[in-house]
């Protein structure tokens, strides 16, 4: 799985003019299931995100996790994180999980992240979404489960 994590002051996602998910201080997590990903992949990514120390401590160092600050997460599915741009000018998305697997793993990931003790709101899988955020820092972190053994 791939995730783009942004530390936010607040974030929301809108579908057809209606806010369907939002968070205050915490994380905006854009997530994409890749071909071959399993529930174990989602569990490991959720645990890693929950413990990722990207919030400032009293000394101003990034030394606290979203759990430490009592923050929430807005999780939005984004298959374009699977983009292959190595050739040509049009990205390819064949590395992304098939839509039914992508939906299942996206939903499983959100449950797993909630299981870490983080309040989670979501977008709507496959919908045309408008995402608003106030990036705090800015801090933006790229995680790819394939990068870890």
- Does pTM surpass 0.85? yes
Binning pLDDT at 50, 70 and 90, where does residue 147 land? confident
Q: Supply 143's token pair.
A: 């995680």
Q: Which residues are known catalytic residues?
A: 78-80
pLDDT one-digit tens code per residue, 50-66: 999 999 999 999 999 99
pLDDT one-digit tens code per residue, 22-53: 999 999 999 999 999 999 999 999 999 999 99
State the residue range of the domain holding 37: 2-144
Q: For residue 69, count other CB atoms closer than 10 A to its CB.
A: 15
Average pLDDT for the chain:
96
Residue 46 belongs to domain with CATH number: 3.50.80.10
Q: Is the dihedral of CA 51, 124, 95, 28 positive or negative?
A: negative
Can you list the alpha helix ranges (DSSP code H) found in the chain?
Answer: 39-51, 66-69, 99-115
The answer to whether residue 149 is domain-embedded is no
Q: Supply 146's token pair.
A: 């394939």
Q: Supply 65's token pair.
A: 């996790």
Total domain count for the chain? 1
Cα distances (angstroms) measured from residue 48 to each of 44, 54, 132? 6, 12, 24
The answer to whether residue 92 is domain-embedded is yes
| Rounded CA separation 48/108 (Å) | 15
């Amino acid at each position: 799985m791939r995730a783009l994590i942004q530390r936010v002051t607040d974030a929301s996602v809108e579908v057809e003019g209606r806010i369907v998910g939002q968070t205050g201080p915490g994380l905006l997590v854009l997530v994409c299931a890749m071909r071959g990903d399993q529930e174990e992949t989602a569990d490991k990514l959720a645990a890693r995100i929950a413990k990722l120390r990207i919030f400032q401590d009293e000394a101003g160092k990034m030394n606290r996790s979203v759990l430490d600050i009592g923050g929430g997460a807005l999780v939005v599915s984004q298959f374009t994180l699977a983009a292959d741009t190595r050739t040509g000018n049009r990205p390819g998305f064949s590395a992304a999980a098939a839509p039914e697997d992508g939906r299942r793993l996206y939903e499983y990931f959100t449950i797993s992240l909630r299981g870490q003790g983080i309040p989670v709101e979501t977008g709507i899988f496959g919908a045309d979404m408008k995402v608003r955020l106030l990036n705090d820092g800015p801090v933006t972190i790229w995680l790819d489960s394939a990068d870890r053994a």
